[in-house]
Amino acid sequence: RPRIGVLALQGDVREHLTALRSVGADAIPVRRESELADLDGLVIPGGESTTIVKLAQHFDLLEPLRKRISDGLPTYGSCAGMILLADRIVGGAVDQETFGGIDMTVRRNAFGRQIESFEEPVNVEGVAGGPVTAVFIRAPWVEDVGGGAEVLARVTSGPAAGRVVGIRQGHLLATSFHPELTGDARVHGYFVDMVRNVLGKSAEVPTTKSED
């Protein structure tokens, strides 16, 4: 069973643990640097991205997290987690830090006052079985997608139609919305498959050089 940590500094940690367990992962809350060492994957929950960064700094987790993420640890961020995986953010304090990793610009609180929270069916590329119910809560959107990133989901209706709300770059996945709040764990299943893929690949690497 893949061992997946949920960054447990602030936010909806418990819901992610439940969703991950329902798709066959060993899910554990993570608060210390030492707990990062033996993870196969990491989830950064929704919450308040500024608070999560401040707590990560306080617990000396910011640099270790950046390093693990850039070294290839499969990581999924929902909502605030998406903001934290962005290389660039707009709509927040100018000096707001992120963990980074996905070549994108994310706008915080992008949907504006009138539609702070809403839900909508959204098709997610690679997630079979029809659209997922996407729950948006003071959600960000992806304003600009860099070369290495692949768009997985867009808003389909309303004034924000076409906005990017799901994205993947290699071992990194992010959604503007909160699948952990719906009881539908298909997005978590997609992420756990990503983790299994990485585990499968590292198992294939030969320990000794074969003759060729």
Residue span binding ligand GLN (CB under 6 A) among the ranges 19-27, 33-41, 57-65, 78-86: 78-86
Q: Report in angstroms how near the CB of residue 12 gets to ligand GLN at its nearest.
A: 8
**Per rule CB under 6 A, is residue 179 in the interface with ligand GLN?**
no
47 among annotated binding-site residues: yes
**Per rule CB under 6 A, is residue 143 in the interface with ligand GLN?**
no
Nearer to ligand GLN among residue 41 and residue 46 (C-beta): 46
Cβ within 8 Å of residue 78, ≥6 positions away: 16, 43, 44, 45, 46, 174, 175, 177, 178, 179, 180
137 among annotated binding-site residues: yes
Give the other-Cβ count within 10 Å of 95's Cβ. Answer: 5
How many residues sit in the footprint of ligand GLN (CB under 6 A)?
Answer: 11
Identify the DSSP state of 209.
P
**Per rule CB under 6 A, is residue 109 in the interface with ligand GLN?**
yes
CA distance 191 to 185: 10
Q: Report in angstroms how near the CB of residue 66 gets to ligand GLN at its nearest.
A: 18
CA distance 148 to 145: 8
Examine the residue annotation and report whether 15 is marked as an active-site residue of this protein.
Answer: no
Q: Residue 145 to residues 107, 150, 165, 168, 201: CA-CA distances in angstroms?
A: 12, 8, 11, 10, 27
Examine the residue annotation and report whether 120 is marked as an active-site residue of this protein.
Answer: no
Straight-line distance from the first to the last Cα atom of the chain, in angstroms, rounded to the nearest whole number: 34
**Per rule CB under 6 A, is residue 108 in the interface with ligand GLN?**
yes
Which ranges constitute the DSSP H helices of 116-165?
none
Residue span binding ligand GLN (CB under 6 A) among the ranges 46-54, 65-73, 182-190, 195-203: 46-54
| 116 three-state secondary structure | coil
| 51 three-state secondary structure | helix
Residue span binding ligand GLN (CB under 6 A) among the ranges 21-29, 65-73, 76-84, 164-172: 76-84
**Per rule CB under 6 A, is residue 166 in the interface with ligand GLN?**
no
**Per rule CB under 6 A, is residue 46 in the interface with ligand GLN?**
yes
176 among annotated binding-site residues: no
112 among annotated binding-site residues: no
Give the other-Cβ count within 10 Å of 139's Cβ. Answer: 30
**Per rule CB under 6 A, is residue 192 in the interface with ligand GLN?**
no
- From the candidates 16, 79, 120, 188, which is the catalytic residue? 79
* Residues near ligand GLN, by CB under 6 A: 46-49, 79-80, 83, 108-109, 137-138
